[in-house]
Amino acid sequence: MTQLDRVLRSNIKLRHLQLIVALDEFRHLGRTAEFLAVSQPAVSKMLGDVEAMLDLTLFTRSTRGSEPTPAGVSLVRFARGVLAQYETTREEIAAMASGTAGRTRVGAMVVALPVLLAQAVTALKARAPQATVLVEEGDLTRLLPRLRSGELDVFVGRLEPGYAAPDLLTEALYDEPMVVVVRPGHALTRARRPTWGTIAAQPCVMPPPWASLRVKLEQTFHQHGLAPPTDVIESASHLAVMTFLREREAVGFVARSVAEHYARQGWLDILPLVLPLDLPPVGIITLREHPLNPASERLVACLREAARGMGQPMTPRRRASHGRRGSAKP
């Protein structure tokens, strides 16, 4: 363990960490070499040097590629955190030297991206035009690990209770119900009172099976004595929803503020069908032990301002149940 401590403190260099992360991304020595602009033998030698220093096997090599060992998984996590902190520090110093407003990296679920985050970024840019905002779209399963590794500064999306953890700071902003949507001119827009039965008979774009919203939608069909739709495309992407509304005459399920945004542009119609779903609020997640840089603090302030005019105001009881800034429970 003394040797491991000495290597991690003194011997491991940034180029070693960059190699480890690239190998984890590409899982192939040749593609890693191309990405790093070095030869494949150079990649093999550098990896061998790191493994020799640590006296550990970090990746297993085969004709199919390379896979991290348990020790490799741990070192990849360490490498991502160090590189992310390096980038943050470098950017902060460069911003101070040049007089710019810095950089913030935000992970956004689709429920927050086209309206809440768009408005917040517009407000941020009005105050700090030179601030850079990196946006990554995804769900909690993809974005929270990147937040924890330091590759993202802020997460904005639904605060799923199952992801509560002591290392996370959460802030619920507003409740966001779902609505049923179709393309403009769809036959269901002419129905006086569309029902769950008519929806079940249509092609539908549904959330992926692992999403809590998918489970709640299927439960709603069962509560009406119906089997869920069988002609289904599964996606959390708004682009996929918009595409299949038009190409397959499908029915989709979208956050109300997002649907209203696209309806104003003439891209879809909202059906008058109530979705009685108990959904987590939309909010912000950051790391408890990772203070935000100035650009991220400004973005969070802009997110709060944009949220005031969105969704449904949260009752005090519901806000408390989903945590406030400084709580460990979303």
Condensed to tens digits (0 to 9), the pLDDT of residues 201-249 reads 999 999 999 888 999 999 999 999 999 999 999 998 989 999 999 999 9
Tell me, yes or no, whether 116 and 262 share the same domain: no
CATH number of the domain bearing residue 264? 3.40.190.10
Tell me, yes or no, whether 223 and 242 share the same domain: yes
Tell me, yes or no, whether 119 and 62 share the same domain: no
Assess if residue 263 is contained within a domain.
Answer: yes
Tell me, yes or no, whether 291 and 315 share the same domain: yes
What confidence tens digit (pLDDT) does each residue in 81-137 have? 888 888 877 776 766 655 456 889 999 999 999 999 999 999 999 988 888 999 999
Tell me, yes or no, whether 260 and 194 share the same domain: yes
Pairing of strands 103-108, 132-137: parallel
Domain region containing 15: 2-80
Residue 322, pLDDT > 80, answer no
Among 48, 80, 112, the domain-final residue is 80
- What's the rounded mean pLDDT across residues 44-69? 89
Tell me, yes or no, whether 168 and 298 share the same domain: yes
Among 26, 46, 80, the domain-final residue is 80
Instruction: For residue 190, count other CB atoms closer than 10 A to its CB.
Output: 8
The pTM for the full model equals 0.72
Tell me, yes or no, whether 190 and 263 share the same domain: yes
